[in-house]
Amino acid sequence: MKEFTIGVDLDGVVADYESKLREIAANIMGLDESEFPPATHWSLLESGWPFDDEVHFLEVHKEAVSSHGLFRRLSPIDGASEALWRMSDAGIRVRIITHRLVVNFAHSATVSDTVNWLDDKRIPYRDICFVKDKAEVGASLYVDDSPGNIGALRAAAGEHSVMTFDQLYNRHIPGLRAHNWDDILVKVARETGLEL
């Protein structure tokens, strides 16, 4: 069998970005966490988070990464580590594909905290790519939560090569969907013929 590669996004798929950002942003802004409602849109501004505008969000995000260790303090999504180990142990290449380099002058903290978090949370991978255009990075199956990424990946890689990892802000997207990591294992087992 040709090597099967699963291309996995981090935030919203392997790591619970929303909960920790809510906590840290509330602290930075001197607000109560209740003022940061669940993300029902990809844009946290559209979801009702109390940022003045996109620039303000990026400033808070940068401070959260650089001064508060956002990317080393995230909780893992339930089942992610176990499922990825089962795939890795079966010979599947786990490729982390993330676009975390979104603000200038926070790259060092972003990359080092990401790698340290992956080790600390026992997330296996053979490759890690920090890239905006995820279709440039090959994978047999992509798993992502971002509506924009899912659309671009499906246009480039095909409808059946991209799984939407279920979140409130992507429920409008039709097609292949994972509600949890067990759903991903079922899809990969079906594609590869492996017992996972």
With tokens 């903290």, the residue in question is 109
Annotated catalytic residue within 9, 113, 145, 183: 9
Note the helical H segments in the chain. 17-29, 54-68, 80-89, 107-120, 147-157, 181-192
CA distance 7 to 77: 16
Annotated catalytic residue within 11, 144, 145, 183: 11
Which DSSP category does 134 fall into? G
Annotation says 119 is catalytic: no
Annotation says 11 is catalytic: yes
Strands (E), 38-85: 75-76
CA distance 172 to 64: 29
CA distance 84 to 138: 18
Residues 6+ apart with CB under 8 A from 85: 122, 124
| Residues classed as catalytic | 9, 11
